Structure 1
Amino acid sequence: MFRSLWVILCLIAVGAQAQTNRYFVFFKNKTGTPYSISQPQEFLSAASIARRQSQQISITETDLPVNPAYVQQLKDMDVATYFTSRWWNGVLVEADAGELPAISALEFVDHILLLAPGQKFSNGRKKKIKRKQDTTDQPLLNATQLSQLGIPTMHADGNRGEGISIAIFDSGFQGVDITTPFALLNTDNRIKQTFNFVNNNTDVFVADDHGTEVLSVMAAYIDGSYTGGAYMANYFLYLTEDVSSEYRIEEFNWTFAAEKADSAGVQIINSSLGYNEFDDSSMDYTKTQLDGQTAYVTRAARWAIERGIVVVCSAGNEGNNSWQLVTPPADATGIVAVGSITAGGTRSSFSSVGPTEDDRIKPDVVALGSGTVVIRASGNVGTTSGTSLASPLVASLAAGVWQAYPEFTAQEIYEALTQSASQATSPDNFWDMVFQIMMQL
C-alpha cells in the first residue's frame, strides 16, 4: 500500500515537472534571413507598403520576418512553435521546463519569457472582459452617441468609412456572421480577414460577444433605427483575448494581431482591451511602469503607430477601483486613449484617469460610454457601459476624418482628434471631450 502511494506521488511530481507551458523565445538577431528591406513585397501587402510610402515611413530591419532557420531548429528539437513576431524577433512555443535549458543553449536564442501556464488550446471559457453592462434589451436608437461626435454630419458629407481598413482586437464576435444588423457588412464582403489567435484558426465568431458589441458601434446597420459610426468601412476581426484566463500571452496575441494588421495594410486599430493585473501576480504591472515604454502591449502599440497606423484604445474601467489609472496600452505615446462620459457630458465614474508615470495627460479624448447603444450577439439592440464602447466611437470618427482627408498621416489624424476636442487648450486627467470634431475640421 505504501509502495503504491509512493509511486502515485512520484508520478504526480513528474507530471507537474513536465507541464507544458507557453513561452516566447527571443532571438538575438535576424542574421541569415532570406528577406530584405529592398523587397518588402515578400512579407508586406501592397496596401501596407502604400500606407508607409504615403506617410514617408521607411521599412527597417524590424519589419523583416524572423529567420525561418531559427524556427526550424526549434521544430527539429520537437518544440511546438506557433506565431512568430517580426517586432519582438522571436516565436511563441509550447514547452515543458525540462526543454528550456536546451532551447536557451542555442546560439541564436537571447532569452525566454514565460507567457502562460498550460497548453495554448483551451476549451475553458469563463473569464469575461471587464465592462459595465446594463440588462436593457429593447429597441433603442443610437443617435446620442453619434451626435456627440458630429458623426451624423460626417455621414451627411459622404464619409461613412468607405475604403478605410479597420482592425478590431477583441475576445469574440458571436453572431456577427448570422444576425441581421450585420447583414450589410456580410453581403458586401467587407469582413476582409479574420483570425483567432487563441485557438489558432480563422473562426472568430465564437467565445464571447464583447467584440460583437464593440464592432456594432462601428459597423452595424439597421435601416432607420441603428447606424454604426463607420458602417461602410472594411473590417479585419482578430480574436486576441482568451476569456478563460488572464496572462501575458494576451499581450503577445495583441502583438501578433498588430503585425498581421500591419502586413494587411490596415489603417486603424481599435482595441477595447487593457492589461494591468494577471492571474499570475508576478506578471502584474505597477503604476510606476505606466510610462509608455514598459508594458509589452504598450510597446507593441507604439510599433504599430510608428508604422503609420492610428491606434485607438479604451482607457479602462478602473476609475472606481484602487488602480484608478488608465491600463496599458492606453499609456502609449501617440495612442488615442478614450475615456467615457455620460449622455449629459459628465465623466463616467468608472472611467480610468491619468496621468501616466511620466506625467502625460490621459485619456486623450472621451466619448459616450455610459449606456452606449449596441447590438448583442442575438441581434437585439441594448445598452452597455464601459470605455470599451467609447473607443469604437472615436475609431469611427478617425475613419471618417481619414476618408475626408486621405492625404493626412496617422499623426495628423491623431492631432485632428485630440486638438479638435472641446478641452484641447486646457486638458485634464479626468475627461477631455470630443464634441463636433467633423464640424471643426
Structure 2
Amino acid sequence: DLAVPHSGSFAAELGHSTASLALSRAGQRDFGGPGDAAPVRDWEWEQRVVDGHPFHPNCRSRPGFSVAEQLAYGPEHRPVVELGLIPVPARECLVSGAWPDRLRDGDRVLVPVHPWQAAHVLKRAGAPGASGRGEGVASVSRQGVASVSRQGVASVSGEGALAAHPLMALRTLALPDGPHVKTAVSARLTSSVRDISLGSVAASAVLSDFGQAVAERTDGLLRITRTPAAVAAGSPDLTALLRESPEKYAGPGERVVPVAALAGTDLPRSPARLARLARLALTVGLRLLDLGVALEAHGQNLLVVLSPDGEPVRLVYRDLADLRVSPARLAQHGIPVPDVPDRMVTDDALALRRKLFGSLVAGALAGTAGSGSALRAALETAVPDLPRTDDLSALLGGPLPAKALTLMRLSPGAAGDQWAELPNPLRSGSG
C-alpha cells in the first residue's frame, strides 16, 4: 500500500518490527511499580528500555533473528549471553591498545564473538547459546571456541564462553567484572549494518585519548568511557572492542543511567530536573561544538549521573566512532586534529550542528520530555544560562534537525544520513 520505490523491503521490515515489538512488550515488567527493585548494575538500566529506538520506523526490526534468537539475545528479554572466544594468530590481527592477557592464548588473540555472528556470518561449526529466558533454543555446538573459566579467564583447552549481559545496542554486552564488549553483528539494526570497521579499530586508542582531552575542558561536567583495547582479525566481521563501564564514573550513592532509560526514574516527571538536564547537556554539547567536536548524543550514547536524591550532576558519553571533528575549530583552540577516519572530519557548520542538535535535542531531550510542551519549557528555562555562541543562535533561530530515518530506509542507493527539519519548540507557535 505504500506504493513508493523500495516499499516492498521496507514493508517487510515494518512487519518484522511490529512482531518484534510485540514480543518485547510481552515480557515487559512494571518498571517503577510496587515491588520493582531499583537497578543496581548498569546493564539492568539498559534492559529496561523495552520499545527500542524512539523514532526509527523499524525500532525493533532485527532481520535474520528468529523469535528464539530474539529471546536469547535481546536485552529487553534479560538473558545472559555466552560470547564465543575465537583464537586467531596475533600476527593476523590488527590490535589497538593493550589487549588483555586473559584474552590471549600464547601467540593467539582470543576474539570475543557474538553467537549470532558466529552462527550466521562467520559460519563456524558453532557458537555458544544463551541462558535465562529462551535457554537452549539458540544454542549451537562450540567447536573451535576457546574456553573460559567461571572467573572469565580463557583457558587453553576445553570449551566455554564469556557470560555477559546484553545492553541496548544488543551487540554490546557487559561482563560481570565491569568492562563492556562491543562485538560485530552484521545485521541491519535500525539504519545500518552493525559490524565494526577496521578504521574504527585502528582509531580507537587515538579517539579515547582525544575524547578524554576535550572532556577535560568541560570543568568536570563530562566523562568519556575509554576504549583500552580493540582487535580486528582480518575483516569487520570478526572484530571486538573493550570499553570501560560507565559505572566507573559514579560516586558513592550515585547512579549512571542512559538517557533512554530515564523513563524509569522521577526525572522526566519533574519540570525542574528536566530543565537542569537540558541545561547540563546543552552546556556540554555547545562547549564541545565550539571546540570543534560534535557529539552524537542520543539516548543510548549519552548517560547522566544522578545524585543520591535524583539530581542530574554530570554526563558520561560512550562510543566515539560517530563523532564529527572540525579541523578549523580545533585549530582556533590550539587542539591538534586526531588521526581519525576521513568520514569523521568536516568543517561544515551545518553538518556539525545537525550531528549534535539532531541527536541531543530532537532525540535524547525530546524523548525524555515526552511532549513538545515539556521540551519547550525545559529549553526555555535552560537557554539563558547556555554559552552564547553562533551555534546556540543557529539552534534558537532555525528549524530543529532530525534524521529522516524513513527516507533513509527508502533510499538504499544514498550513502550517509538524510535530514528533515522539524518545527523549533522555542519559536512561537511551534509544536
**TM-score normalised to structure 1 length:** 0.27
Richer in helix (by share): 2
